[in-house]
C-alpha cells in the first residue's frame, strides 16, 4: 500500500531524469510548468509519456517516453551522444493545485538505449526492481575490475583530481581525432581514459573513452556529436589498462607511487588448461 496518494481531482504525472553527466531534466504532463522542491517541472510541450506498465509480481515495470528533439530540454545532441543512455528516471504523481515533489512515487527506473528518428527521440527503460533479475558475483581474472579513481569502499582509491588535466585543442583532424601540442605526457598516458569538452559545441555532452594517446594526438573510440574546433577547452582523465604494472607506477600529481594494495586483479591464477592437467611423475 502507498503511504501517500495524490488528490485524484488534480492529479498530474511528473518525470525527473538524472543523466550520467550533466544537469537533471524535469517534466510534467500538466499544461503549465510546476515549481516544487526548488525545481521547475516543464509542461508537456514537445514530449509525452507513451507508456508505463507494471505488475504485482517482481517483473520489472517498463517506462517509455518520446518527443521532439530540442523541446523540454532534451536536445538532439544530448540524445545522439548517448547522454541519456543509462540515466536514472523517477516518475511520481502529485496535485497541480499544491504540487509536492515525489508525493506519490510511481516508479524509479533506468533508461536503456535512446534512439533518434529524424527530429524525434524515443527512450525506453525498466524499473530498478530489474536489478533482482541480474546475475551477481565476482569474476576472477588478470585485469582489475575496479573503476579507476573509484573512492567507494574497497575501490581503486587513486586521486581523481591528481589524474585529471585540462587543455585546449591546437588542431582537429576529425570528430574522433584531435591534437593538443602542449601535452608532453608519455604515449598511452591517457589511453583508456576519458575526455570531455568544457567549451565549444560539445560542451556538456558525456565524456568519451580514449582509444589512444601519442605525442599529443588524442583518438577516441566514438566520434563526438559535433566536430570539435581549434581552441575548444577540455578536461581529460588519465587512463588505466587494468594491469598490475599500472598500479605499480600510478600517477599522484607530482610523482608516481605504488597502488598495488588496491589492485583487484589476479594475474597469477593458473588457466584452466594448467590446473586441469593430469600430473606426471
pLDDT tens-place string over residues 60-97: 666 767 665 666 667 777 777 777 788 888 888 899 88
Where does the pLDDT of residue 181 fall: very low under 50, low under 70, confident under 90, or very high at 90 and above?
A: very high
Give me the residue spans of the domains in the chain: 11-133, 164-238
The vertex-197 CA angle with 241 and 232, nearest 5°, equals 125
Q: By three-state DSSP, how is residue 67 classified?
A: strand
- Please tell me the pTM assigned to this model: 0.65
Across 136-140, 189-193, 205-209, least confident range = 136-140
With beta carbons less than 8 A apart as the criterion, state whether 63 and 126 touch: yes
Asked if the 11-133 domain carries CATH number 1.10.8, the reply is no
Chain position carrying cell 540515466: 87
Share of the chain above pLDDT 70, in %: 81
Secondary structure, 3-state, 109-141? EEEEEEEEECCEEEEEEEEHHHHHHCCCCCCCC
State mean pLDDT over 199-217: 90
What are the C-alpha distances in Å from 101 to residues 13, 28, 72, 73, 174?
11, 11, 18, 19, 44
At 21-50, the pLDDT tens digits run 778 888 888 888 888 888 888 886 555 555
User: Which helix (H) or strand (E) segment is 164 a member of?
Assistant: strand 164-168
Q: Which comes out higher in pLDDT, residue 8 or 212? A: 212
Amino acid at each position: 500500500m502507498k503511504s501517500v496518494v495524490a488528490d485524484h481531482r488534480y492529479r498530474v504525472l511528473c518525470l525527473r531524469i538524472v543523466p550520467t553527466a550533466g544537469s537533471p531534466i524535469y517534466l510534467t504532463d500538466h499544461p503549465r510548468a510546476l515549481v516544487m522542491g526548488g525545481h521547475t517541472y516543464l509542461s508537456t510541450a514537445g514530449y509525452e509519456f507513451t507508456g508505463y506498465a507494471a505488475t504485482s509480481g517482481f517483473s520489472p515495470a517498463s517506462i517509455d517516453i518520446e518527443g521532439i528533439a530540442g523541446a523540454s530540454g532534451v536536445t538532439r545532441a544530448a540524445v545522439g551522444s548517448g547522454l541519456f543512455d543509462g540515466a536514472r528516471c523517477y516518475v511520481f504523481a502529485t496535485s497541480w493545485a499544491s504540487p509536492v515533489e515525489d508525493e506519490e512515487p510511481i516508479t524509479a527506473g533506468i533508461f536503456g538505449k535512446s534512439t533518434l528518428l529524424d527530429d524525434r527521440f524515443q527512450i525506453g527503460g525498466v524499473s530498478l526492481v530489474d536489478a533482482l533479475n541480474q546475475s551477481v558475483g565476482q569474476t576472477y581474472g588478470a585485469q582489475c575490475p575496479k573503476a579507476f579513481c573509484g573512492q567507494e569502499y574497497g575501490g581503486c582509491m587513486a586521486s581523481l583530481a591528481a589524474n585529471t588535466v585540462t587543455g585546449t585543442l591546437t588542431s582537429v583532424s576529425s570528430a574522433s581525432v584531435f591534437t593538443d601540442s602542449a601535452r608532453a605526457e608519455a604515449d598511452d598516458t591517457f589511453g583508456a581514459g576519458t575526455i570531455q569538452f568544457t567549451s565549444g559545441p560539445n560542451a556538456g555532452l558525456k565524456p568519451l573513452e580514449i582509444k589512444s594517446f601519442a605525442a599529443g594526438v588524442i583518438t577516441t573510440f566514438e566520434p563526438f556529436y559535433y566536430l570539435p574546433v581549434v581552441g575548444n577547452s577540455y578536461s581529460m582523465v588519465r587512463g588505466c589498462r587494468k594491469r598490475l604494472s599500472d598500479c605499480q607506477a600510478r600517477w599522484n600529481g607530482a610523482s608516481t607511487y605504488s597502488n598495488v594494495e588496491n589492485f583487484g586483479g589476479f594475474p597469477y591464477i593458473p588457466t584452466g588448461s594448467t590446473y586441469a592437467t593430469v600430473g606426471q611423475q
